[in-house]
Structure 1
Amino acid sequence: MTERDVFLPVGAQPTLDALVDQAVAAEELGYDRAWFPESWGRDAVTAIATTAERTDEIGLGTSIVNVYSRSPALLGQTAATLQESTDGRFRLGVGPSGPIVIENWHGMDFGNPLRRMRETIDIVKQVLTGEPVQYDGECFELDGFRLRCDAPEPAPPVDAAALGPKAVELVGRFADGWHAVNYTRDGIEERLEDLARGADLGGRDVDDLRVTLSVGCCALEDEERANDLVAQHIAFYIGGMGTFYRDNLARQGYDDLANEIYDAWQEDERDHAIDLVKSELRDQMGAAGTPEDAREELEQFETIDDVDAVYISFPRGATPEEIHETMTALAP
């Protein structure tokens, strides 16, 4: 049975306490796991540690922390500590993010993201064994240290976000799960093949990997408002967050549409970009409308073969009240 997770809207909450309240509500509503993003607002580590104190059963994880702003060893320490603070409920989700965030916010060079992600996963997993870490890579060389505290038992899984074929293949070879973001219902199929190929190359069983698919959701009695919010959210990512999401959509058979949305957004013709999403893409990438309609659309994503969990994410423009209404309407 496909699990139903929730991607918490960190940026939409006025306080850390309000954010944690959302996680508490998600547990009460029966969601399997709450994922915490980290971009340029609140850090995910503090939010998860605080949430761990106020929840008992819901799984908690990062989706995602980037592999540039923390060293791999520190990510390993963080994962070990959060596994302890959550009593074994933690999953670490990592990813490269993109040059806009890494270079303009963190002030670091966005160089060789695939290699850096692979080495980060390797090192984190070594750290989590509690054994001395010996690593000689292209990005990192480590020697002579081990965790000063006891290694977590069990070690938390290490998931990774990836978009392109080679990146997804890398996840299949080295990570414990894949976070699929910005995919259409049809377009994820080819990447699932890449994941399986990577698992085979790594001598692993792809069925042991957790595939988590992100779906933008809004369930309101005001059907038009719900559809507008989800379409605006999708258009923002395709048009306003660099070229990665545009290119990812193009690879899924939407080359002309992806470029038209991107160009419209860049030229400040954002209403046109949103209209394009609403007319040609929204139902392939999101679940929106009345509570009944949104539930039916979300269930279509949950029937995709080899997807183990779907997490509902909320539009950037949704108010805290609309987020709560959606979370309640789409509860498992």
Structure 2
Amino acid sequence: MTDTDTDTDRSLHLPVAAQPSVDTIVDYARRGEERGYEYAWLPETWGRDAPTVLTNIARETETIGLGPSIVNVYSRSPALLGQTATTLQEVADGRLRMGIAPSGPAVIEGWHGVDFDRPLRRTREYLEIMRAVMSGETVNYDGQIFSLSGFRLRCDPPEDPVPIDAAGMGPKSVELAGRFADGWHATVFTSDGLEDRLEDLRRGADLGDRDPEDVRVTLSLTACALEDGERARELAREHLAFYVGAMGTYYRESLSRQGYEDEANEIAAAWASGDKEGALEAIPEALLDAIGAAGTPERAREELRKFEEIDGLDDIAIGFPRGATPEEIEDTIDHLAPASKH
């Protein structure tokens, strides 16, 4: 983890929303590489699968790091994710970093048709099994959920070990990342809320007898930097309303822990009743500023600075509102490129 704001990297959290084509997503990553971003993180929800798109990104870029943020720990077996990481690391010439997490019941049960059972325990066992697979040794593992024996990779293991990060918002999931993972991916946090969770990360590192400096912290931050600042803020507002209103309880609970319980409940209630305009109106300007960076390029850069000042944050991954057009995404990538930090 970093000591000063000047050391904070900037990465891309590629769009969650559907894009016109795989080539469009690859172009964003290539644009990010040209402008000095550290990583291109790819979410996987219910659109294009992450490994296929990441393979295309790896083939069309040379230096930018890449990885999923996140793949869930239900829809693929831990051994298969170990195989996937091994293969992607080969294709990417050592630039891969994996991001895994449980996701949430809305996606796991509603889309994958799998019980959202024991998410933290599953995450821990995935971390351990994926590392065992990628070691190249015969895997013998006896966990509470998974038991494996007698198989090993039939290809060479990764020459460079693949770091595995865990995502999470609650205290226990962040503690788990600090204790077992190589990094933590955070999302939907205010600067104060992130600092509170960093205490959980440090506690987890202590429990694992690890140096918290060895756990890389990445914050995915919704950002939109446009010359039309009002349009940028409108897009960010719509994005937040959707996640709080339509994506289960995780985001609402996270905001509640950070002092926005009334606002989160009002947003969710309006959305649930079909009043999307009411959900938008329930988002105060202060909340919009607290968890993102949206507006004119100058305003968005200023909002980013309060996160860069957080001791312990290594990387801000610039995300994009789900309603942004490809042109608006490209403008934001350009306006918030790492060179604009100083």
Q: Which residue of 2 aligns with 1:244?
A: 250
The equivalences for 1:97-246 within 5 A come to 97-246=103-252
Do 1:10 and 1:42's aligned partners in 2 also have CA atoms closer than 8 Å? no
Q: Name which of structure 1's ranges 242-251 and 297-306 shifts more when overlaid on structure 2.
A: 297-306
Q: Do residues 69 (structure 1) and 75 (structure 2) align? A: yes
Q: Do residues 91 (structure 1) and 97 (structure 2) align? A: yes
Do 2:18 and 2:47's aligned partners in 1 also have CA atoms closer than 8 Å? no
Amino acid at match of 1:212: T
TM-score by length of 2: 0.95
**Runs of 5+ unmatched residues, structure 1:** none
Distance of 2:210 and 2:26 partners within structure 1: 36
Q: Do residues 52 (structure 1) and 87 (structure 2) align? A: no
Give the secondary-structure state (helix, strand or coil) at the position aligned to 1:73.
helix
Aligned identity (percent) is 61
Do 2:225 and 2:296's aligned partners in 1 also have CA atoms closer than 8 Å? yes
Q: Which residue of 2 aligns with 1:313?
A: 319
Distance of 1:295 and 1:91 partners within structure 2: 27
Q: Which residue of 1 aligns with 2:33?
A: 27
Q: Which residue of 2 aligns with 1:265?
A: 271
Distance of 1:119 and 1:173 partners within structure 2: 13
Do 1:12 and 1:318's aligned partners in 2 also have CA atoms closer than 8 Å? no
Distance of 1:196 and 1:270 partners within structure 2: 39
- 1:270-322 CA-partner distances (Å, limit 9, x unpaired): 22222232433000001011111111111221111100000010001101111
Do 1:5 and 1:32's aligned partners in 2 also have CA atoms closer than 8 Å? yes
Do 2:137 and 2:152's aligned partners in 1 also have CA atoms closer than 8 Å? yes
Task: Give 1:10 shift.
Answer: 5.1
Do 2:78 and 2:129's aligned partners in 1 also have CA atoms closer than 8 Å? yes
- 1:54-74 CA-partner distances (Å, limit 9, x unpaired): 110000011000000000000
Matched length: 332
Give the secondary-structure state (helix, strand or coil) at the position aligned to 1:281.
helix
**Runs of 5+ unmatched residues, structure 2:** 1-6
Q: Which residue of 1 aligns with 2:261?
A: 255
Distance of 2:199 and 2:230 partners within structure 1: 36
Give the secondary-structure state (helix, strand or coil) at the position aligned to 1:61.
strand
Give the secondary-structure state (helix, strand or coil) at the position aligned to 2:12.
strand
Q: Write out the 4+ residue segments of structure 1 that deviate beyond 3 Å after TM superposition.
A: none
Distance of 1:319 and 1:282 partners within structure 2: 20
- 1:121-141 CA-partner distances (Å, limit 9, x unpaired): 110111111111111111100
Do 2:32 and 2:333's aligned partners in 1 also have CA atoms closer than 8 Å? yes
Match for 1:286 among 276, 284, 292? 292
Q: Name which of structure 1's ranges 256-265 and 176-185 shifts more when overlaid on structure 2.
A: 256-265
Give the secondary-structure state (helix, strand or coil) at the position aligned to 1:46.
helix
Amino acid at match of 1:38: E
